[in-house]
């Protein structure tokens, strides 16, 4: 069974654990404790009539744990970057710290990246233009392939959609890679067959001289 690994990063108290809990249980997370180090959970999901295992690594946001988080990037196909829409410094953390960490760990090919602006339920009508502007800045910094969402772990808004989209992207990339490697293998075998035919022709010609 295929396994896909996703890592959540961001400041403390932005709602990473609450998002995972909402996705896993379909309920609001009522505990106030912060994650220590790294929390791990799995979920079996169906993609394109195939069952896969999603590994979710929820990182602690406290600064003292930052140095260990990149260790968990190994083998991950996706990174979810979370910030709090009511706390501007949490968005700055994505720009100034996590952007460089991700680019440093994935120098050749970036994983699937999603940026989540969480706690949309706490944003007033007057501040909506500001949060859209902030998200547009993040989109520009991380490139055109990043997907962005406004979520609420409390109400469940867009939470399911985030994980479903990420799983689809990881599955699609993996399928494309498999298809390409099959094509390359086919081309290699074809090339070998052609080479053997050419060598046979040369051998026959030499014998006929």
**Band of residue 59 on the pLDDT scale cut at 50, 70, 90:** confident
User: Which pLDDT score is estimated for 198?
Assistant: 55
Q: Quick: pLDDT tens for 42-57.
A: 999 999 889 999 999 9
Query: Mean pLDDT across the stretch 138-162?
Result: 93
Looking at per-residue confidence, does 153 or 65 come out higher?
153
CATH architecture of 3-180: 3-Layer(aba) Sandwich (3.40)
The answer on pLDDT for 71 being more than 50 is yes
Domain ranges in the chain? 3-180
Task: Report phi then psi at 80, rounded to 5.
Answer: -105, 120
pLDDT at res. 108: 86
Crossing angle of the two packed helices 16-25 and 159-208, in degrees rounded to 10: 80
End-to-end CA distance of the chain: 58
Of 81, 82, 55, 61, nearest in space to 152 by CA: 82
As a whole number, mean pLDDT of residues 55-81 equals 84
Q: Minimal CA–CA distance to 73: which of 38, 46, 47, 48? A: 38
Tally of CB atoms within 10 A around 172: 13
Percent above pLDDT 70 for the chain: 78
């Amino acid at each position: 069974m295929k396994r896909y690994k996703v890592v959540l990063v961001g400041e403390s108290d932005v709602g990473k654990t609450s998002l995972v809990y909402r996705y896993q249980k379909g309920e609001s997370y009522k505990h106030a404790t912060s994650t220590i180090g790294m929390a791990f959970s799995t979920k079996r999901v169906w993609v394109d009539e195939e069952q896969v295992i999603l590994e979710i690594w929820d990182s602690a946001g406290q600064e003292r744990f930052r140095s260990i988080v990149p260790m968990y990037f190994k083998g991950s196909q996706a990174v979810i970057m979370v910030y709090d829409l009511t706390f501007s410094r949490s968005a700055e953390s994505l720009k100034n710290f996590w952007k460089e960490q991700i680019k440093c760990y994935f120098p050749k090919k970036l994983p699937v990246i999603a940026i989540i602006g969480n706690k949309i339920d706490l944003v007033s009508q007057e501040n909506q233009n500001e949060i859209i502007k902030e998200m547009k800045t993040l989109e520009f910094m991380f490139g055109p392939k990043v997907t962005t969402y406004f979520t609420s772990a409390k109400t469940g808004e867009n939470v399911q959609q985030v994980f479903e989209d990420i799983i689809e992207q990881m599955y699609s990339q993996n399928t494309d890679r498999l298809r390409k490697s099959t094509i390359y293998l086919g081309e290699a075998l074809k090339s070998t067959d052609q080479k053997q035919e050419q060598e046979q022709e040369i051998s026959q010609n030499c014998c006929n001289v």
